[in-house]
Structure 1
Amino acid sequence: MGKVGKDYKESLKLIDKDALYTVQEAMDLVIKTSKAKFDETIELAVRLGVDPRHADQQVRGAIVLPHGTGKKVKVLVFAKGDKVKEAEDAGADYVGSDEYIQKIQNENWFDFDVVVATPDMMGVVGRLGRILGPKGLMPNPKSGTVTFDVAKAIEDIKAGKVEYRVDKTSIIHVPIGKRSFEVQKLYENFHVLMEAIVKAKPAAAKGQYIKSVSISSTMGPGIKINPAKVLD
């Protein structure tokens, strides 16, 4: 058995797979069970009591995590006119128009993490819907990535803004930091994100809204958190 398999088995011994941990216990455990040589990402998974096939039960939004995600985020901005300089001055990694659309279409270029577009560019950017949509990269007014205030959008993204959206299996997956973070910082990021998800509950959602919550490191096992105590 390889080292990764051995580490994973050792990590599993630290976790009671039937237990529902408090947030603090789960944070301590996720650090203890993260044994890879690189700085693993800590990810949150929340299963919601919604049916995402219905438009009135979609859950999505964006929030700036108080301590960021620990990841350097590359931003591509579609803009024209004076908005190009505004985007460059605000720290965008790439700013342009047709040249980047062609690069994505013809070269399968994806050296970016977030796409921002000014509203007057959406007609052009719309041509990338089939490519960017499935990757969750399509700019969207709800997440603040379709806006004329490109400077603020870029600053928020660089400061640690994350987008959360329920997938077709009713689960939200979001990174909340890195193993190298202090536990308290992971805890605060988790809390801010969970508050936003709870507030985003659609009026049409019936029954228990937060069905299950777990956190895991990139290579580590999932640790279940008591869904009744996520905001403690």
Structure 2
Amino acid sequence: MKLKIFIFVILFMLSGCMGTGDNKDIMREPDFQGLNSTVDDEKMVFVYVDDDRNQREKQQNARTEYVYAYWLKITDDTIIVNEEDEEVAIDETFLKHVEAWVKEEFQEERTEVNIHDVSLDKESIFPVYTADKIKRVEVERTKKDVLEKLKSYEEGKFTLHLFIDDVNKQYEMRDEINEVTDLISDIEVIETGSVRLGPPEDAKLLDIDEYPVYIVLDTEDIVLTTHQLDGVKEFFNVKE
């Protein structure tokens, strides 16, 4: 069954790490680490730690059976800092990886849910903690990490990805984007693919600095880099 195509701004999930319990010393290890996925008007922060999918399933944006994720209540006493331990506003941690320390005794819990079906304003289905401290952290990524995320996982098949560095270009490239998604859906040897909008961090790690750019990968590495859609069609022997 042909996979569904997803257009998304790059987000790379990171597995979380557990810490210790109800210790008031902020120098202790963080209770968990994850992606700060939302900040609402009531100063509630949703941190997505991990889920049950393997890398291939994450690449395909597959359903989740359960996730590790938590809501954090921000109070006047919550310490919020950046990588250099300088105080920042909570908004400056949005869509960033964070380490979290909580006031209560933390227990790792998983929530049985398909994350695609969840409205994040219904925080009651996820555990809620009071944030003692939130620290924005940099996650070191390598070319190998990007290849693992983008490559094909089936021998004899490929993945096709279009990187667009400016989100606004999606409008002027609408016809080309539609053609790319059609190719991904129609060509049997393309396992999956994506159109990636926004800051091209993944592409930079692949030593790409000119956009828009198409890349094709097999199960190990990049097999085609081109700035022209015609180059993709020629690679896959597409007849006009």
Same fold (TM over 0.5): no
Larger of the two Rg values belongs to structure:
2
* More helix, by proportion: 1
TM-score by length of 2: 0.24
Q: Which one has more relative contact order, counting CA pairs under 8 Å at least 6 apart?
A: 1
